[in-house]
Amino acid sequence: MADGRANPWPEAARLLVLGALGLLFLMPYLWMVSASLKPLDEIFRASLNLIPEGGGTLRNYARVLAEVPVLQYLWNGVVVCGGILFFQLLFAVPAGYAIAKLDFPGRDWMFGAVMLGLLVPYHVPALPLYVAFSWIGWLNTFAALIVPSVISVFAIFLFRQFFKALPDELIHAARIDGMNELSIVWRVILPNALPAATAFAIFSVVAHWNDLFWPLIAVTGHDRATPALAILYYRSEEAGDDFGALMAASAIMTAPLVLAFLVAQRRFVEGIATTGLKG
Amino acid sequence: MPMSEAAVALRPRSRAGRQGESLAGLLLTLPASLSYIVLLLAPTLAAVLLAFTDYELGAPSIRWIGLENFAELAEDRGFQVSLRNTLVYVGIVAPASIAGALALALLIESLTRGRALFRAVFFLPVVSLPVAMATAWQYLLHPTIGPVNALLRDIGIAGPAWLTSSDTVLLSLAFIGIWEAIGFNLVLFLAGLTAIPRELHHAAEVDGVKSTWERFRLVTWPLLGPTTLFVVTITLIRSVRTFDSVAVLTQGGPNRASEVLLYTIYTEGFTFFRLGYSAAITLVFLVIVLALMLLQTRVLDKRVHYG
């Protein structure tokens, strides 16, 4: 294997280069955690020691937990990402199935609409949606955070491609067994689409947990703040230049997805690679 | 589910069956169609129309003003700076993150062990909350207490105010952008490299292509064409959409030195509530994104060799 692409450098040299670059890449994480464990005066001394003197302190974390409703913010993130994913699958799986496997008037036209929708970044409909939501009094609600994303043309496209490759016999057999189209979708098609659904779920949750643009527009208060907004608020209202507390807050809000990634690394990478199309 | 044997035989469907299928198709797509129209199509068309009005949130009236917004854009120095900054940012982030990711992918692919570890390390920024990581960069690049300048001080260099000086701010943001984008591109390149059969490299070697560079040029690079094209388009579009780091770190400053298109859309629309004008900038943004996609299908596609 090693000589499959006979490389002029020995493997040790390549490991060394990658190791050094990798360490450089991890610097923001290392310094974030390091600063979050240091008392303020140590941070202000700007020493180059990653390891805090005297073993560090958890006071920054305690301060963050005491000052802001961290659990509330994380919960908001879970509700928003979960709500969005639920509706995206609810709408896109049947639509993807119908466009891939059923013959009905307007099908090709619908697929064209999906392809067209793929071209439009979500920032474009944001302005009119904001106006509409402010009219009907939806700003600062979960609905405002969830509803604009419930339709994912990308999900429809992805499922359509995936279902297209499923054998027709599977569906015919289910029909002969007397199943209606809706139960075919949820009991036959979806279990077979789990790889695609998992990949899409990872893509969707990463995108919406990390999004700032729309939450910044749709939400102004703390009640419905997502983790991304929470850090912005915490910096402007509480922490200011106290980087210890700010880094502690950042570490807390970053942890859930990063831990999930470390646990299910392979799935994450595959999920993002297969859904890379949408960016 | 037991597979009935009759299933294998594809029988011609009756007319009732076909009508049932039509109905099922329409019903199954109904939720998606409705939400598509209400949440995507209508607001997108509304955004296009808004661009030709003087609409401001809270203003009593709305007036059709034709191309006035665009005429104002042509004179607006702030918008021009924003457009130029966006192009500079993309011009740095895209080539650097694509070439860097390709180099890393080739290095990682050649390893016998540790591939998953390195892939995970470089991919980490893709799953990390950008706002949180931006604040981490704010600390790293802080002019007085930041570790980067502390290190430079130790070796006798006075580091610049990375994020607060107009000379360095765009470069600093571009560096963060490269850091964020490289893992994503790396994963796509790794997937592309895995698809290239190893036998081809052996064959090239047997045919007398001795140097690694020549084998890369003759075998890997052409076969990686479709992947590269895809990575180029995706990276261009993603970096045109840069917003988070600007919103968190610089708010477009100092003196508009880091103002980018999406941030201008945001401030005009949601800080000054000039929605018509903001929609006009959004339209420019949309045209750029569409042009990049067209570039993929029309120009670049012809030059890509599909193996």
- Quick check: is B106 in a domain? yes
* Residue B122 Cα, gap to closest chain A Cα (Å): 7
Highest mean pLDDT: which range of A166-175, A260-269, B145-154, B171-180: B171-180
* pLDDT at residue B301, as a whole number: 60
Q: At a CB cut-off of 8 Å and minimum separation 6, what does A70 contact?
A: A64, A230, A249, A252
Note the pLDDT of residue A276.
60
Which residue from A minimizes the CA distance to B281? A124
CB contact under 8 A, B241 and A121: yes
Question: What mean pLDDT is predicted for residues A69-73?
Answer: 92
Q: Is B162 on the interface with A (CB under 8 A)?
A: no
Structural domain boundaries, residue B164: 68-303
Between B163 and B60, the more confident residue is: B163
Mean local confidence (pLDDT), B117-121: 93
Mean pLDDT confidence for B22-26: 89
In a domain, B3, yes or no: no
Question: Does position B19 have pLDDT exceeding 90, yes or no?
Answer: no
Quick one: average pLDDT of A183-199? Answer: 87
What pLDDT is recorded for position B62? 87
pLDDT classification of B3: cutoffs 50, 70, 90: very low
- Hey, what are B1's tokens? 């589910």
Q: Which CATH superfamily is domain A67-278 in?
A: MetI-like (1.10.3720.10)
pLDDT-derived band at B22, boundaries 50, 70, 90: confident
pLDDT range class, residue B156, cuts 50, 70, 90: confident
pLDDT tens, B184-240? 999 999 988 888 887 887 888 788 777 888 888 888 888 888 888 889 988 999 999
B13 in a structural domain:
no
In this structure, of A53-57, B115-119, B185-189, B232-236, the range with the lowest mean pLDDT score is A53-57
For residue A8, what pLDDT is reported?
60
Residue where the block lists tokens 């102004």: A220
**Cβ(B231)–Cβ(B186) below 8 Å:** no
For residue B18, which residues of chain A lie inside 8 Å, CB to CB? Answer: 103
Average pLDDT, chain B: 87
Report the number of distinct structural domains present in chain B.
Answer: 1
pLDDT tens digit string along A11-51? 888 899 999 999 999 999 999 999 999 888 888 887 888 88
Report the alpha-carbon angle A145-A266-B110, nearest 5.
Answer: 130
Choose the mutation target among A151, A170, A216 for the interface with B, i.e. most B CBs under 10 Å: A151
In this prediction, residue B300 carries a pLDDT of: 61
Disruptive mutation site among A1, A3, A5 for chain B (greatest number of B CBs within 10 Å): A5
What residues does each domain of chain A span?
2-57, 67-278
Residue B159 pLDDT > 90:
no
In a domain, B191, yes or no: yes
pTM: 0.89
Residue B229 lies inside a defined structural domain of this protein: yes
Residue B8 has a pLDDT of 38
| pLDDT score at B157 | 86
C-beta of residue A202 within 8 angstroms of C-beta of residue B126 = no
Mean pLDDT of chain A: 88
Per-residue pLDDT tens over the stretch A128-171 = 999 999 999 999 999 999 999 999 999 999 999 888 888 888 88
